[in-house]
Amino acid sequence: MKIKKIKLTTLIYPIILLILLLLLGCSKNEEGSKLGINYNDQAAFDPQKDAEIQKYNLELRKQETKTRFPCDTISIMEYVFDNYPPGTYLLVFDRTTTYNIPNPAIIYYTGKNQKYAFAVIASSRQGERLIEPANIIGFDQSYIDLDSTKLGTPFISLVLLECNGGNLLKIWEAPIPSHGGFNNFSLNKWNYNDTPYVQINFHYAQGVGHINYNYFLVDGIRNSPHLLMTYEGTNFKRTLANVNNDKFPDYYEHIFYNLADKIYSKDSVAFIWNTKDSLYINTRNSKQTRPY
C-alpha cells in the first residue's frame, strides 16, 4: 500500500493563518478590556455606535424593499429612530416556527377617513447597557424580570401613531408593565359593548402560562386607553367580565386550590373599576385593590 506524501507547506500555511486570527482576536479583546468592556459588546455600551448600526440596517432595508407605502414599517422604524432616545427599537412578533420571518409589531387601523398604526416599542434605561430586542421577545426571555439589569432594563410601550399625508404623529403612548417575554398583539372587540381593545400577549415561563395586557379604547382611539390585565397558568387565572354594566371592563380572579394530587379552581371573585380612585376593587373585600 502506497502512503501519500503530504507537502510541508500545505500544513504550515493553515497553521500560520490560524495563529494570525487568534492574535488578531486577542488584540481586539485586550483593547476592549482596557475600556472595561468586551469587544463584542461595545455597541451595547456605546449609544453612538448602536445608532450607526441601526442607521446602516435601515438604509440596507430601504435598498432591499421593492414596494413602499406611506407610514410603512420602515417609516415607523425611522420615526422611532428619530424621535426616541438611543437604544429604542420597534419590536417584532415571536417566531411561530424556527425558520419563519417574524412580523413587525404593528397593527394598522382606519377610522373616520384617518389611518392609524399601533406599534409596540422598547426603550433602554439611561445609564445602563442598551437593550437588545432578542432579549425581550420569546418564551425564555420572560425570565428577564428576574435579572433585567444584566441585559439592560427594557421599558416597553404601546404607541398610537397617526398617518397623515405620509407623515407620522404620535397621539399617545401607554406603558406596558412587563420587561420581557413579548409574544404578539392583536386588535379585538369586547363582546359586551363592542369597545375595541388592543391585546398584548406575553409569555410567562415562571408560571407556565401567559399574561395579556388589554388596552381598551373606552373614550375613542385618540384618547389614552384603559388598561386591564388578564392571565392564565397552571394555578392562576383572571378573565375579562362585565359586572356592573358601565363602560369599563371588569374581571374575575379565580381562586385555586393546590392539593397533593391535583390543582383546581372552584371559586372566583369579581373586581370592578372605581373611577374615583382609578383602581380595581374586590367586591368582597374593598380593602383589596389592583391598579389594572
Give the least confident one: 125-134, 166-175, 185-194, 265-274.
125-134
% pLDDT > 90, the chain = 67
At position 19, the amino acid (one-letter code) is I
The pLDDT of residue 40 is: 47
User: Over 60: is that where the pLDDT of 100 sits?
Assistant: yes
Q: Do 271 and 280 contact (CB within 8 A), yes or no? A: yes
Q: What pLDDT is stored for residue 149 in this prediction?
A: 61
Are the C-beta atoms of 34 and 117 separated by less than 8 Å? no
Higher-confidence residue of 87 and 144: namely 87
SS3 call for 27 = helix
Burial 185-222 (b: 16+ CB within 10 A, else e): beeeebeeeebbbbbbbbbbbeeebbbbbbbbbbeebe
Instruction: Give the residue with greater pLDDT, 10 vs 231.
Output: 231
Q: pLDDT per residue over 239-257, tens digit each?
A: 999 999 999 999 999 999 8
Local confidence band at 28 (pLDDT 50, 70, 90 cut-offs): very low
d(CA 136, CA 96): 16
Please compute the mean of the pLDDT values over residues 173-198 and round it to a whole number.
Answer: 96
261 pLDDT band (50/70/90 cuts)? confident
Cell of 237: 387565572
β-bridge pairing 167-175 and 182-189:
unpaired
In the chain, the percentage of residues whose pLDDT exceeds 70 is 84
> What DSSP string runs through 63-99?
HH-----TT-HHHHHHHHHHHS-SS-EE-BPPPSSSS
- pLDDT band at residue 263 under the 50/70/90 scheme: confident
The least confident of 28-37, 76-85, 165-174 is 28-37
Strands annotated E in the chain: 89-90, 106-111, 114-124, 154-164, 167-175, 182-189, 196-204, 209-216, 226-232, 237-241, 250-258, 263-274, 279-282, 289-290
User: According to the model, what pLDDT value does residue 111 have?
Assistant: 81
Q: Where are the domains of the chain?
A: 38-185
Beta-sheet pairing, 106-111 with 89-90: unpaired
User: What are the pLDDT digits (tens) for 31-45?
Assistant: 333 333 343 466 788
pLDDT level of residue 117 (50, 70, 90 thresholds): very high
What is the per-residue pLDDT for 23? 53
Query: All 3 cell numbers of residue 90?
Result: 420597534
The Cα–Cα gap between 282 and 273 comes to 9
Q: At 217, list the grid cell.
A: 379604547
